[in-house]
Structure 1
Amino acid sequence: MLGLRKMLEMETYLKHDDWKIWEDHFHVDKNEVTESIMSLGNGKFGLRGNFEESFTGPSLPGSYIGGIWFPDKTRVGWWKNGYPDYFAKVINSVNWIGINLAINGKILDLGTCRFTSFYRELNLKTGILSKTCKIEWEEGKYLHISSRRFCSVDSPHFAQIHYEIRLENLSGKVRLSSYLNGVVRNKDSNHDEHFWEEVFQMADHEMGYVQVKTKPNPFEVPQYQVGVGMKNSCTQNGTLIEPLEEIKSMRAFHHFDVPAQDGDSISLTKTVVISHTLDHKAENLYSYTENALIQAPAHLEEDHIQAWEKAWEEADIQIEGDLSAQIGIRFNIFHLLQTYNGKDARLNIGPKGFTGEKYGGVTYWDTEAYCIPFYLSSCDFSVAKNLLMYRYRQLPKAIENAEKLGFSDGAALYPMVTMNGEECHNEWEITFEEIHRNGAIAYAIYDYTRYTGDENYVKEFGWEVLVAISRFWEQRVQWSDAKKAYVILGVTGPNEYENNVNNNWYTNYIAVWTLKYTLECIKKYKKQVDKTEKWQAIIDQMYFPYDQNRMVFLQQDGFLDKELLNVDQIKEHRPINQKWSWDRILRSCFIKQADVLQGIYFFEEDFDLETVKRNFDFYEPMTVHESSLSPCVHSILACRIGQIDKAYEMYLRTSRLDLDNYNQDTEDGLHITSMAGTWLSVVKGFAGLKVRGTQVEAKPNLPSHWKSLSFSFRTVEGVKRIRIENERFEIKNI
């Protein structure tokens, strides 16, 4: 166990302490990974850790705005009834960080220049990305650069960059060009496609501004408009410099020309406001941006830092005795907090957040299954409630989605992936078969109500969602004369390495649980609901595959027909999703993410310790964990059955997944939703914390080398703090 931790520390090129992550040499071959790790956001917008300067090396430019997306036509939708017409994707938006530097007409390119020193740092405590470097411009002549930037958490339409250069043994004409650029595209664009069209741009001494709109689409998805404004203040040795303005199509520039001498210092502060038509009418974007820049807070950076301090007061987790574990959990919490703040119920949590384009930035069942517990404990309860309201407001679309597939009477099938409630996933085995997502949404209502004790959401909104989902389950099951039980055929469970299976245990279990919970809510809240007679029969007579010899639940019918191998037997062939054919994966026993253990984790009160242990010991050796959502569930269950070494191994895998680029895909963006699993591993796993309204319970079981674990969590009675040390713990009000 300790050897694994040391190995992971050695593999990463990044360095860290409790609160900071940095590189002290420029690793150009790792730059896209660094860009992902050092991404910034504030719940409204965010961007990857791209350089401000010109850079011709490997890079994935990315600036994203929550809720701004484009419906890209799906490529394989012509032969399946009910198939989505489009695949929603978050789109790269106006590049607002751009600052070009030229000396005597020669433009600085960080991809080709010679660094004599380089340092880049992400400060998790303050949410500030900074860099300092020294560049040999010509032999014996040097350029010093320092920059820092942030996306304001306190004033979430604002961002700011502080940029400074100093000349050493170097003189000549310096041009600093601060710009906004709407001529951008996505890395995954088809045929170099651009999603933005020109509206207008302007630049004067006071500000520069670019307004763009998404191109027309045939799917009745609204065209979005984005307006970005900048205000630049530039000084040479403290003396203000006036800008020269320039505009081009979808671009605005402020140029600062300075005759500079050896030792001169030139500083630029760039304040940016981002607005869009989710918040304002298109005709008002310019005036809003202009007024916001005029009235910009005087202490934008200080206010931003204080806002982060306040957030950390509740959300921080402190681990003594394990630096890797400590920075891992803080890194994950940092990105969760800057991805979603709960202030806008129209937004949700994309698997990559503001850190990349993969998965399209859409909403998955990850939110309900993994993220809501984090926000319940670490933020005001309204944050988690807004995640539930997101689904409630999309209930009509979920009913439409089910109707397209032949369901009726108000049955709802929530989409596997979505931006606006419509299904927009383009893989048939997931779009049509991975119906367990309906159960996760029902479970989230239960989880919120159980944790907060707040029954108003269920009484006012949630019961409608539960009834619609239950009507789907009623119609999706069918009676088997052969089994004398209800069955669910043709599904894909969370383990996507098995498609089109019958009687996936997890799907059957969560369907029955949903029906049972819905009936309880109808009775408790005295709701009048017709046509529920069949629900109890399904509850009483659902079929669940089970192996009497091993006394374990089976993933699905026919699972024991597979050759049951241990993952250790195929080490040289991993990851199998890259090295095996899909045909071979589907016929193998190897599990991307254990369905059975997911169900046992959700409904732990239903299973005794021996049952948990038997199922864990059976499935864990066959699980390749090639889903980022898998290790946290294993870590929590391993804690419950006392396998702490295995729990810690799984914790490191989830907490340092991106820091150590475990899956060799961090350059695409971070695994934001699985970061909530890191939090779950610590709080529900090692601390064994359970909150049920006013009832708080902890069953700690820490790794032996941890000296202590402490964190705060929110309850209906206020915020409490727990400290665990040497198998002793205390909980107190704060």
Structure 2
Amino acid sequence: MNLFCTKQFWRNKEMRGGSKRYFKVHPWKIIEDKFCLESNEISESVFSLGNEYMGTRGLFEEGISTNSVENCFIGGIYAKEAQSYGWKRKGFANYSNAMVNTTNWLRITIEVGGEKFNMQRSNFREYSRELDMKNGLLRRQLIFVTRHGEQTQLSWERLISRSDRHIGAIRLSLKALNHQSPVKLGFILDSVHENRTCFNNVTHCRMTEGKADTEQIYLLINVATSGQYYIHRMAVGYPDNVEFEKKYVEKDRYVACNVRFTPKRGVTYNFDKVVSVWTSRDAGYPYGMIPKESDVTVISKDREKEVVEYLITKSRDCLKSWLDKARPQQRVSVTTDAPGALLEESYVSEHFSSGSKRHNSDNQELSENEGGGLYELIKTEHIRKIAEFWDTVDIEIEGAEEAQQGIRYCMFQLSNAYSGHDEYLNVGPKGYTGEHYWGRAFWDSESYCIPFYLFTNPDAARKLIEYRYNTLDAARDRAALFGYNGAMYPITTIDGTEDLNYWEYSFCEIHVNSIVPYVVYLYDHIVGDKEFLYSKGIEILIEVARFWASRGKFIPYRNGFGINRVIGPDEWQQFVNNNFYTNYMAKWVFEYAAQVLEEMKRQSPNKLDAVVEKLGFDFAEMDKWKKAADKMILNYDPEMDVFVQDDMFLSLDPMCREELDWDRDIPIESKWTIDRYLKTQLLKQPDVLLLMFLFRERFTQKQKLRNYRFYEQRTAHGSSLSPCIHSIIASDIGVHHQAYDYYLWASRLDLENSNNNTHEGLHISSMAGSWLNVVCGFGGMKYGGVVPEFAPILPEKWHRYSFKLNYAGSIIRISVSRGNLHYRLISGKSVKAKIYDQEVIFEGEEKEMVMPENCYVFRKAEAVIFDLDGVIVDTARYHYQAWKAIADEEGIYFDEVINERLKGVSRMGSLQIIMEKSQRHYTQQQLQKLAAKKNSLYVRMLDSLGPEDILPGISELIDSLKDKGLKIALCSASKNVNKILDKLKIRDFFDVVITGSDICKSKPDPEGFNLAAQKLGVDNKSCVVVEDAFAGIEAAKNAGMKSVGIGDKCKLYNADYVLSSTSLLSLSTILHLY
């Protein structure tokens, strides 16, 4: 299929180190065994850590001056910036919020013998860095070699605690291998760096208070534009019985504790840095204390002072609590902020024992606090908590470590981004791994991420939906601003207000107002939480249905309800009318909102009365919704049997995706002018196909197949949200090789930098889509029916795989191996389900089921059958010239349009088509004479043919097919085939040749293809036909064969795949049809 994704995928691998992957493949780890400065920003993204409350990129502790994006984020902490426009209209955002870069708490500087260590400038060897996903730890180690030859072994281990979301910790281990030179270490809290890509380098964070002394080290920062506060308090652990010189530094937005000591050769010294992070959000202010449209705080100065004191106290108590657990018999007496006061229970000191290891006389490592110490306790609790996560969500894959590593990485980063503690947070497209997309919530949080959380952590799914409920008032205000009824959710937001200053998207990309009700439905359908549905969910449904009723209109010209000037999920088709996805989803919202209201009449009339009163709802509104739903415009082309993306889609240029060049065209949004891609049928990402995923039960296999064939080859995958959906639909329709390639692209997208933008941050929603790939694609899970349904397949390269689901509070597990499937209930109540349409019950004991053979043995291409004219050689021009001469001589009108109908048709059949324009009657004898005359003209023209006339790419493709062991045939209605093959000197290319002399019936009759397959000894379903004529494609379909069309996508819409030229044909084109 000449997948553009494959070309892009491998090209990037070559860019990052030849044929070898930059990161080593390992089932539980991401390993970097060499340092590449040019790739460092990519590595920073890949090695990110988080726990929902906060997160950091994979920064080096000592810092690096270039090729680095220094980001440490805290969830819900943001700054705002006034927007300016050359011309401003009503509805444009006055301010935009963006996640703000907070204090870099990772900083630890190292100096040996007067030389500072730096990855960019220092000499070092034996470098490696690894992300241990199983334990949630980031490690780095190397040997630092100074200019004077001093060698020091350094290792770092970092975590962001899963057991206490306020805690982050680092252990630095240091061993002087051949020296006793002085070592200086700096333990730093640095809030100097602002966002690199936002806010035009404006300073948004200012220091309220900074302390660095023997009792406490912290930075308290205020975000000037949002009024929020955050504090980082640091504690440092030193080895016991070592003499240190200490110096404390306080500067603006910077505090540090610098230590100096002289190490003993061969002794390992552990230094621990633990931070406690708290924000004004913890004090009861989930969003900014300065409203978006104001410069004045909403709370009093006294209350603001209380918030500051709260953060100072809570951050201190948090560290003290951990220290007390680590050293239950030890108490440190320190003064509080009140002069003269003394509290034994208050831990503020920056010093604690790290339990450093040291050598005895026998050169064995011993520890004074083996297994103890604050860092070890934090680490132990953290590992215990993350083990609980893996126990309930892990996907195991045997036989393909790259697939295993990819999916675990996706799940790990999803858990870093969100875990369900905060209903005022959402999942940003980059999580905490980069500034791109500003840390705002987009629509893909609902369409991709919530299904992942719903089946792994239902409480987290509810919290994400509650986020939309908590911002419903802002959505109401936005609808009113635009003159609409109900609630209009923004396309990007942090606090519920619109943040995007690209007006075309914020005004027209309104489909988010359907996906929010969709996840309300999904949560109720799976979990059955009627309390939520009848209180909060119903408000969302009513208000959004009101919006759609006022946003759309009845269009007399179309005799239907239309929604005009919108942008669907595919953002390269803009300001269109009646986008299929948008209209279908709005129709569904009308229907579902009415359904829930009717349900509440029966099940909960009191709650319905309360909602009716609160919202001023009139049931006459529901009647209008039903009428709009019934008359909704949904574009469909009966000839091609596809749902058309919008009113004008078929009028656009159907350019071939394969014509795109990586260097010249990718990324399209950067290298093309906007009007250029707006004029083509190129899709950025799935639109109709995304809808078919959301409502898989509503569309037939035939509909999925037709629409997949039509849209897949038009999709350039400019969005990371694209490959995963294509993989799932490909699995649904049995295109398994293609599905697997798309899965690898999605699950390893950031590990391979496949979209060439991992340096900006990870693609969190795509990672959720990768989980859906395994469970809904390969696992065949459908969840729209009464019970969950599964129809697993086993990808060819896998020996076995298993996945776990949290279904309405019950943990179930399915394990798939070649020929056998096992399923069981791990915990909770029994679950009724269907597997391969057979009713089953997940109960305590494991049960076994035999898999259908076609779910693990997949058909492959075994033979390719080529047409001749227009595929192997272009003799079509000779045919045209000969027929044109005959027609002109007879006074019959004939042009290239009529000539198109002759492709694949026999000589006499072609003559009959030409005669349709004739006014005179011809006898059969006269027709035979004209046909012979045409053939004579044509044969004389063939004398000029030679090997140089073989069409581009054909010789190379045939060589590839032979190397792969595929059989090759040629099938043509022409009776001059042998002469042409002799002229081209390619007769030996083909195992079988079928000519017009061998068959009686013309295409679209499959006689010729059937005969070719029979002589090849290959089943029809394992044959691929390469054709340039509609009739030839139809013949292939009638024979039950796959087909590749060469020519116009719109004219050859019946082919499985269409290329504009034979030069784009490749072996992968053939193989990926299955």
TM over 0.5: yes
Q: Is it true that 1:287 corresponds to 2:364 in the alignment?
A: no
Question: % of aligned pairs identical?
Answer: 34
Query: Quick one: distance in 1 between partners of 2:28 and 2:785?
Result: 32
Match of 2:407 among 329, 332, 335: 329
In the alignment, structure 2 segments of 5+ residues that lack a partner are: 14-18, 284-306, 327-376, 602-607, 827-1074
Q: Is it true that 1:561 corresponds to 2:636 in the alignment?
A: no
CA, structure 1 residues 476+284, in 2 after alignment: closer, same or farther (shift >3 Å)?
Answer: same
Match of 2:760 among 664, 668, 672: 668
Query: Quick one: distance in 2 between partners of 1:430 and 1:678?
Result: 26
Q: Is it true that 1:653 corresponds to 2:745 in the alignment?
A: yes
Partner of 1:225: 229
Q: Secondary structure at the match of 2:513?
A: helix
Q: What letter matches 1:153 in structure 2?
A: R
Partner of 2:258: 255
Query: Quick one: distance in 2 between partners of 1:260 and 1:630?
Result: 54
CA, structure 1 residues 153+638, in 2 after alignment: closer, same or farther (shift >3 Å)?
Answer: same
Q: What letter matches 2:555 in structure 1?
A: S
Q: Secondary structure at the match of 1:155?
A: coil
Query: Quick one: distance in 2 between partners of 1:709 and 1:242?
Result: 56
Partner of 2:135: 126
Query: Quick one: distance in 1 between partners of 2:269 and 2:380?
Result: 22
Match of 1:427 among 502, 506, 510: 502
Q: What letter matches 2:718 in structure 1?
A: E
Partner of 2:432: 354
Partner of 1:316: 394
Partner of 1:440: 515
Q: What letter matches 1:581 in structure 2?
A: T
CA, structure 1 residues 304+258, in 2 after alignment: closer, same or farther (shift >3 Å)?
Answer: same
Match of 1:522 among 585, 593, 597: 597
In the alignment, structure 1 segments of 5+ residues that lack a partner are: none
Query: Quick one: distance in 2 between partners of 1:84 and 1:596?
Result: 30
Match of 1:539 among 608, 629, 651: 629
Q: How does 1:208-607 map to 2 (within 5 A)?
A: 208-215=217-224, 217=225, 222-235=226-239, 239=242, 241=244, 243-280=246-283, 281-296=307-322, 297-298=325-326, 299-379=377-457, 381-408=458-485, 411-526=486-601, 527=608, 528=612, 529-530=617-618, 531-572=621-662, 573-607=665-699
Q: What letter matches 1:634 in structure 2?
A: H
Q: What letter matches 1:703 in structure 2?
A: P
Q: Secondary structure at the match of 2:208?
A: strand
Partner of 2:36: 27
Partner of 1:152: 161
When normalised by structure 1's length, the TM-score is 0.96
Query: Quick one: distance in 2 between partners of 1:688 and 1:165?
Result: 51
- Give the superposition deviation at 1:324: 1.0
How far does the alpha carbon of each residue in 1:265-302 deviate from its partner, in whole angstroms, 9 at most, with x for none? 43211111001100032221111111211221521100
- Give the superposition deviation at 1:579: 2.5
Query: Quick one: distance in 2 between partners of 1:593 and 1:265?
Result: 53
**Any conservation in 2 of the 1:453–1:693 contact (CA below 8 Å)?**
no
**Any conservation in 2 of the 1:497–1:590 contact (CA below 8 Å)?**
yes
Q: What letter matches 1:594 in structure 2?
A: P
**Any conservation in 2 of the 1:710–1:722 contact (CA below 8 Å)?**
yes
- Give the superposition deviation at 1:571: 3.9
- Give the superposition deviation at 1:724: 1.2
CA, structure 1 residues 723+8, in 2 after alignment: closer, same or farther (shift >3 Å)?
Answer: farther
Q: What letter matches 1:331 in structure 2?
A: Y
- Give the superposition deviation at 1:568: 1.5
Partner of 2:789: 697
Q: Secondary structure at the match of 2:182?
A: strand
When normalised by structure 2's length, the TM-score is 0.66
Query: Quick one: distance in 2 between partners of 1:32 and 1:569?
Result: 30
- Give the superposition deviation at 1:261: 4.7
Q: What letter matches 2:119 in structure 1?
A: L
Query: Quick one: distance in 2 between partners of 1:560 and 1:548?
Result: 13
- Of the structure 1 ranges 138-147 and 424-433, higher mean CA displacement relative to structure 2 is found in 138-147
RMSD: 1.9
CA, structure 1 residues 696+483, in 2 after alignment: closer, same or farther (shift >3 Å)?
Answer: closer
Query: Quick one: distance in 2 between partners of 1:568 and 1:580?
Result: 16
Q: Secondary structure at the match of 1:342?
A: coil
**Any conservation in 2 of the 1:694–1:717 contact (CA below 8 Å)?**
no
- Of the structure 1 ranges 572-581 and 150-159, higher mean CA displacement relative to structure 2 is found in 572-581
Q: What letter matches 2:798 in structure 1?
A: W
Query: Quick one: distance in 1 between partners of 2:10 and 2:387?
Result: 31
Q: Secondary structure at the match of 2:572?
A: coil
Q: What letter matches 1:535 in structure 2?
A: W
**Any conservation in 2 of the 1:164–1:267 contact (CA below 8 Å)?**
yes
**Any conservation in 2 of the 1:206–1:231 contact (CA below 8 Å)?**
no
Q: Secondary structure at the match of 2:713?
A: helix
- Give the superposition deviation at 1:6: 8.4
**Any conservation in 2 of the 1:701–1:727 contact (CA below 8 Å)?**
no
Query: Quick one: distance in 1 between partners of 2:249 and 2:681?
Result: 62
How far does the alpha carbon of each residue in 1:595-639 deviate from its partner, in whole angstroms, 9 at most, with x for none? 111111111222111011101100000001111111111111111
**Any conservation in 2 of the 1:77–1:83 contact (CA below 8 Å)?**
no
CA, structure 1 residues 149+15, in 2 after alignment: closer, same or farther (shift >3 Å)?
Answer: same
Query: Quick one: distance in 2 between partners of 1:653 and 1:322?
Result: 14
**Any conservation in 2 of the 1:234–1:240 contact (CA below 8 Å)?**
no
Query: Quick one: distance in 2 between partners of 1:177 and 1:705?
Result: 50
Q: Is it true that 1:614 corresponds to 2:614 in the alignment?
A: no
- Give the superposition deviation at 1:313: 0.5
Query: Quick one: distance in 2 between partners of 1:256 and 1:694?
Result: 65
**Any conservation in 2 of the 1:53–1:109 contact (CA below 8 Å)?**
yes
Query: Quick one: distance in 1 between partners of 2:21 and 2:215?
Result: 44
CA, structure 1 residues 397+717, in 2 after alignment: closer, same or farther (shift >3 Å)?
Answer: closer
Query: Quick one: distance in 1 between partners of 2:113 and 2:43?
Result: 31
Query: Quick one: distance in 2 between partners of 1:479 and 1:568?
Result: 40
- Give the superposition deviation at 1:675: 0.8
Query: Which structure is higher in strand share?
Result: 1
- Of the structure 1 ranges 712-721 and 651-660, higher mean CA displacement relative to structure 2 is found in 712-721
How far does the alpha carbon of each residue in 1:683-728 deviate from its partner, in whole angstroms, 9 at most, with x for none? 0010011346982321112321211120111123611111111243
Q: Secondary structure at the match of 2:168?
A: strand
Partner of 1:181: 190
**Any conservation in 2 of the 1:208–1:253 contact (CA below 8 Å)?**
yes
Query: Quick one: distance in 1 between partners of 2:89 and 2:490?
Result: 16
Query: Quick one: distance in 1 between partners of 2:641 and 2:811?
Result: 42
Query: Quick one: distance in 2 between partners of 1:267 and 1:655?
Result: 37
Instruction: Tell which has more relative contact order, 1 or 2 (C-alpha 8 A, sep 6+).
Output: 1
How far does the alpha carbon of each residue in 1:160-205 deviate from its partner, in whole angstroms, 9 at most, with x for none? 1100222233333221110111212111144432210110111222
Query: Quick one: distance in 2 between partners of 1:570 and 1:360?
Result: 30
Q: Is it true that 1:707 corresponds to 2:799 in the alignment?
A: yes
Q: Is it true that 1:170 corresponds to 2:179 in the alignment?
A: yes
Query: Quick one: distance in 1 between partners of 2:771 and 2:378?
Result: 30
CA, structure 1 residues 611+510, in 2 after alignment: closer, same or farther (shift >3 Å)?
Answer: same
Q: Secondary structure at the match of 2:234?
A: strand
- Give the superposition deviation at 1:207: 2.9
Partner of 1:68: 77
**Any conservation in 1 of the 2:106–2:189 contact (CA below 8 Å)?**
yes
How far does the alpha carbon of each residue in 1:328-387 deviate from its partner, in whole angstroms, 9 at most, with x for none? 0000000001110101111110101110000000001111101111111112x2111111
CA, structure 1 residues 589+467, in 2 after alignment: closer, same or farther (shift >3 Å)?
Answer: same
